[in-house]
Amino acid sequence: MSEQSSSAAASSARGVVFVDGIRTPFGKAGPKGMYADTRADDLVVKSIRELLRRNPELPPERVDEVGIAATTQTGDQGLTIGRTSALLAGLPQSVPGFAVDRMCAGAMTAVTTTASGIGFGQYDVVIAGGVEHMGRHPMGEGVDPNPRFLADRLVDPSALVMGNTAENLHDRYPSITKDRTDAYAVASQEKYDAAKRAGLIGETLVPVATKSAAGWGLATEDEPPRPGTTLENLAALKTPFRPAGRVTAGNAAGLNDGATAAILAGEDTAAELGLKVGMRMVGFAFAGVDPAVMGVGPVPATEKLLARTGLSIGDIGLFEINEAFAVQVLAFTKHFGIADDDARVNQWGGAIACGHPLASSGVRLMTQLSRQFATRPDVRYGLTTMCIGLGMGGSVIWENPNFDGSK
């Protein structure tokens, strides 16, 4: 690239802002879950419609792209779900859409990919999110892993079962005991319950009409949380991935159904349209790790991102870390010298309480961080980060537009 064209490319970059995010209540996967007879694409449609309803300043025809993630892209969450959900949500036919898959970081990748387009000046406004109906489409449904992965010893056999990778992470960090992960899980339940009772969780949810053999219903709150969970409860749970292991259904996220969606825009476009700014994107990074210890992925992703942005971990005032497994969160905090009970981490609890419908979760983290920024002018930067199946991690740093350095 010539010096002139390089300068032109650099000058085209612009600020990217997170305007607003929404999600459906998360349900338990399976025939008894509240979304057992609800289509995955309808969950996305409901999210997009509510997002537009809450942001009437945005003319639907100004949306340049709809990127929706799903890990298992088949059935009612296949068929280029970004495009089909846009049409079903009533967006103009001129609005295109696409589907993306990066397993647990699908929605995060939908955000970073479309944000890159905004920064490069090719989009003004986008909708990005994700969906996972694990009851209809369990992770791995229909896949055919290449036998070379095992025959050529490219990955350890345990890498193909997420629970086994969490046990491997315990092996790598023996100081992260089951007692510590159980204590973290109890705290996640308690923080989530406190946030819910304070009305903080409900503000991020859109009610969803559901249908089952019993008739019509209305999903208004998350189904997975277990308020009142105690250490004694968790100590009695089985360790399904290893005899006398440490990973249980109590200190890990469950199998869940749900969808998320968010509006992102160029900072100039947000000002033009009068859209509120929830937070500004500073940068993002993805990194690969040994798939057998998938949960450590957020560590190198965050180190890479901090190096790119010139920030330090001490500059981060709020953390939203996806709780696929408690050991994975504690491996991250241990690496960066953060206490297990640091008040900056997952203030409203996390996926251990509310659930983790794979590809949708990244935007849940972002939506919560944005809402927290609104009440924390003393905090300038926040981080959303998550581990990703097959050995990856993803991290995004955001800046609080409400920051007041005098606080």
| CB-CB contact of 255 with 33 (8 Å) | no
Can you tell me the distance from the alpha carbon of 80 to that of 401, in angstroms, rounded to the nearest whole number?
34
The tokens describing 314, both together, are 């001490």
Can you tell me the distance from the alpha carbon of 251 to that of 246, in angstroms, rounded to the nearest whole number?
9
Cβ-proximal residues to 305 (8 Å cutoff; 6+ apart), any chain: 283, 284, 285, 395, 396, 397
| CB-CB contact of 324 with 387 (8 Å) | yes
Instruction: Give yes or no: 354 in active site.
Output: no
Q: Residue 196: what are its φ and ψ, rounded to 5°?
A: -65, -45
Catalytic residue, chosen from 104, 133, 137, 170, is 104
Burial class (CB in 10 A: 0-12, 13-18, 19+), 248: buried
Among 96, 71, 101, 77, CA closest to 86: 96
Catalytic residue, chosen from 133, 137, 170, 356, is 356
The tokens describing 78, both together, are 């296949």
- Name the CA radius of gyration of the chain, rounded: 20
Instruction: Give yes or no: 133 in active site.
Output: no
Catalytic site positions: 104, 356, 387
